[in-house]
Amino acid sequence: MTAAGFLDIVAPGLMTSVQDLGRFGAQALGMPVAGATDPIAFRLVNCLVGNPENTAALEIGYLGPGFTVAAESLRIAFGGVAKLALQPADGSEARAVKPWRSVLLKRGDRLSIGAVEDASVAYLAVQGGFAIPPFMGSYSTYMRSGLGGFEGRALKAGDRLPLVLNAAPDSEERELADAIDYGDGPVRVVLGPQQDRFTAKGIETFLSATYTVTKEADRMGLRLDGETVEHVRGADIASEGLVTGSIQVPGNGKPIILMADRQTTGGYTKIATVISADLPRVGRMKPGNNLAFQAISVAEAEAIRRTQEQGIRRLIDGIRTAMPDVWLDLDALYTANLISGAVDAPSGHWK
């Protein structure tokens, strides 16, 4: 695929990678799904710039990148909470960029994204997407094996990320009308498939304790610290298939929630599986966050997911034309004569 322009990466951020919604249909070959850990935000930023929902975008972990536009123009949208500073190429004063809104950048403009404040991940979509080849039907990066995405790795300083479009089409900017509701309360799970490998006390502990995400959390899984879950006869089983959201409990009794870059098979007992509707909320968690679990039925999980999808569709359908940004030229404001005179109230004469 021929590049029409580039994002020149000046600062890569802490963990910035190209992702889409995942690499499906290859787990039988040992290839993980990968993909965005918060697919809701991922889909919405793509919609803001007019892309199909599965267009490859940048997943930003903890600290954002800085880049310069090497194209005639580029429309972007950022999904998350962070400080975005735009330094225009024309030398005018740097200004803030709003999240959850499309923004048009020009050649030579530099955008710097600060720390992600509300979650572990945020997303940056570019109109038209990136001019990179798919790997096994997906643009997602699986960094543990160096496959997919941009050279199979997180971005680094000096990278030139190729763009599909050299110039953004003329259109009005768009913004999200309402905030995303990720829900709150306990993370909902369906018990099993090795529920019988845990004691009644172990299951009670799992469903009543509060756990803390440890510093070992990454795209592969969230290791939790808290009360120990008791096994019946050890943690090892014959290796079998895993899904995103599987909760393994190894021999130390501390649960591990498997996430996007999880392995495809594993030999530890699984006490439960996070329902698909709660996976985006879990995917946003960072070290130090607390969570608890609540068991529900498969039928309940399916109904919750259908309701969630209806909410996402309403957010997408509710995307509206953005109000134009108005930037104050403070230098001009401070030097202009904004007062033509004053009235002396007692005399009624101008001064």
DSSP 230: P
Of the three residues 128, 156, 176, the one that is the final residue of a domain is 176
On whether residue 328 sits in a domain, the answer given is no
Q: Are residues 130 and 46 in the same domain?
A: yes
Query: Residue 175: which pLDDT band, with cuts at 50, 70 and 90?
Result: very high
Please tell me the total count of domains within the chain: 2
On whether residue 63 sits in a domain, the answer given is yes
By the 8 A CB rule, do 259 and 282 touch?
yes
Strands (E), 226-341: 236-241, 246-248, 256-258, 265-268, 270-274, 290-291, 293-295, 320-321
Q: Are residues 169 and 48 in the same domain?
A: yes
Q: Are residues 168 and 192 in the same domain?
A: no
Burial of 224-258, coded b for 16+ CB within 10 Å and e otherwise, reads bebbebbbeeebeeeeeebebbbbbbbeebbbbbb
On whether residue 298 sits in a domain, the answer given is yes
Ranges of H-type helices in 157-275: 200-208
CA distance 6 to 11: 15
Q: Are residues 40 and 140 in the same domain?
A: yes
Q: Are residues 14 and 150 in the same domain?
A: yes
Q: Are residues 172 and 191 in the same domain?
A: no
310 φ, ψ to 5°?
-60, -40
Decide if pLDDT at 332 tops 70.
Answer: no
- CATH classification of the domain holding 255: 2.40.100.10
CA distance 80 to 101: 11
SS3 59: strand
Decide if pLDDT at 142 tops 70.
Answer: yes
Q: Are residues 172 and 193 in the same domain?
A: no
On whether residue 295 sits in a domain, the answer given is yes
DSSP 126: E
On whether residue 347 sits in a domain, the answer given is no
Average pLDDT over residues 332-347: 57
CA distance 19 to 132: 12
Q: Are residues 40 and 133 in the same domain?
A: yes
Condensed to tens digits (0 to 9), the pLDDT of residues 236-268 reads: 999 999 999 999 999 999 999 999 999 999 999
Q: Are residues 204 and 109 in the same domain?
A: no
340 versus 178: which is more confidently predicted?
Answer: 178
Q: Are residues 301 and 206 in the same domain?
A: yes
Which one, of 296, 262, 265, 263, lies nearest residue 278 by Cα?
Answer: 296
pLDDT at 3: 82
Condensed to tens digits (0 to 9), the pLDDT of residues 196-235 reads: 999 999 999 999 999 999 999 999 999 999 999 999 989 9
Condensed to tens digits (0 to 9), the pLDDT of residues 85-121 reads: 999 999 999 999 999 999 999 999 999 999 999 999 9
By the 8 A CB rule, do 97 and 110 touch?
no
Decide if pLDDT at 315 tops 60.
Answer: yes
Q: Are residues 244 and 144 in the same domain?
A: no
Q: Are residues 171 and 289 in the same domain?
A: no
On whether residue 331 sits in a domain, the answer given is no
On whether residue 134 sits in a domain, the answer given is yes
Q: Which domain holds residue 242?
A: 187-310
Task: Tell me what the pLDDT averaged over the chain comes to.
Answer: 93
Which one, of 189, 339, 326, lies nearest residue 255 by Cα?
Answer: 189
CA distances from 290 to 18, 50, 120, 187, 250 (A): 28, 36, 14, 10, 20
> What is the signed CA dihedral for 226, 230, 234, 240, rounded to 10 degrees?
-70
